[in-house]
A and B are shown apart, each in its own frame.
Chain A
Amino acid sequence: MNKVYMISVFAENKPGRLERVTKVLAEANINILAFSITSTNGFGVIKFMVNKWKEAYDLLREKGFTVSLNEAIGIEMKDQPGGLYEVVKILSSKGINIESASVYVAETRKRAYLIVEVEDTSKAKELLKDENLKFLNPEEIQ
């Protein structure tokens, strides 16, 4: 199982923050495949999965953003009713807690991926390896 990554950017909860980050990605011709925002009182974390993660990470750092690269797991689900349920049912049966999640739709109405960050990625991968799950291959999104 190869590694997929989420890029996390710290942002104050103010107008224009998301614009600044996405502008950098757009100008470097980096495609955002999945994304989520978690925010709390005054600040938040913006998370992206992109096609060129290494390039995006270096670029954002260079531009002065507070950014981190976190390994994630991409699990295929059917883009249809019950698709998400089938996947999270397995995760919870293994006692795997999702710290953050977003969705990458690979083929509309057919195939999507649940992208999750968990506390211990290698342990989670180990627990899931015998399950009937298809994992996102990083090469697929390059």
Chain B
Amino acid sequence: MTGAKRGDILQNSMTYGLFTGAFVMHYGAEKIGILVIPAGPGNTERQINLMRDFGTTMLHITPSYALYVASVIYDKGIDPRRDLKLKRAYLGAEPYSEETRKKIEDMLGIDIYNCYGLTEMNGPGVGFECKYKEGLHIWEDNFLMEVINPETGEPIPDGEIGELVLTTLNREAMPLIRYRTRDLTKIISEPCKCGRTHRRISRILGRSDDMFIVKGVNIFPQQIEQVLMSIKGVAQNYQIVLESYDEMTVKVEIDRELFDGKIERLIRMKDEIVDKIRSATMVKPKVELLEPGTLPISEGKAKRVIDNRTI
């Protein structure tokens, strides 16, 4: 579908472990005779060495990390077109824009294909782009797809944006019926130039609930709230600010009544917040302590998550 074939070498820079992303791609690639380098994320120096030593032709990587790796490749004075054998990359696990795709494609001289999936549907590969890169084909022989209005639950016509709802058709042990993904997209029903008849969806535009994803981990603001409310010295008001896909900042107001003038206690409290959020969510946050009254006071439904990330 994207030209990958026996003899290709896939460097899999997704997280192995409890995240389904790396494994599904790994087994799928092996099935068609592709050599897989289970690199995992991080250690950028080594990623680049692996690309050179093994002659990596394909990458499976998150968009934010791909951007970083590309910039390090440039900083090291490596010309990807001359020194590396990269042909294509599969990007998923985070929403990203068309501009980001073009930028990484230009930097590395490769083709990038968007990949969609979710753990509840076995991971990546629920939808995949073909060589025309005009939306993701959903494997409709495997999943029944609908798009609904997230407020009313009613189906909406193809081409309009709503929440993607999926039903598994071939899964035996744990079928899921009309599973609400909370991912916002639209169905593209026009036939694709590639000739496949499976309908496509647009790239994911956002979410219909307040769950957010950092470092590939699903996080609900309530998890953060539970931690904060369990710590003495923290006031009621807080905010989660997202500037990138691998970092979250938690802003917390301190409790005026419990302030005792000791900076050591504030430092300990801040460390406690970091540790407890990390054990609750698996993501280490940045924590900022604020003066009471700094954060906007909520009128009705509080806006806890400020997502400044661009899609």
Contact = CB atoms under 8 A, between A and B. Distances in A.
Contacts of A43: 266, 288-290
Interface in A58-85: 64-70
B257 to A, nearest CB: 9
Interface residues of B, number: 17
Main secondary structure of the interface of A (DSSP, over half): strand
A69 B256 CA distance: 12
Nearest to A99: B262
Contact of A10 (B254, B264, B267): B254
A10 B259 CA distance: 8
B244 interface: no
Contact of A47 (B261, B289, B291, B292): B261
A56 B134 CA distance: 66
Interface string B248-265: 000000101001111110
A100 B263 CA distance: 10
A64 B291 CA distance: 9
B294 interface: yes
Contacts of B254: 10, 66
A40 interface: yes
A8 interface: yes
B267 A12 contact: no
Interface residues of A, number: 23
Contacts of B267: 40
B42 interface: no
Contacts of A70: 260-261
7 interchain residue pairs of minimum CB distance: A8-B261, A68-B261, A70-B261, A45-B263, A66-B256, A38-B263, A66-B259
Interface of B: 254, 256, 259-264, 266-267, 288-294
28 contacts: A8-B260, A8-B261, A10-B254, A10-B259, A10-B266, A10-B291, A11-B291, A12-B289, A12-B290, A12-B291, A40-B266, A40-B267, A42-B288, A42-B289, A43-B289, A43-B290, A45-B263, A45-B266, A47-B261, A65-B291, A66-B256, A68-B259, A68-B260, A70-B260, A70-B261, A99-B262, A100-B263, A117-B261
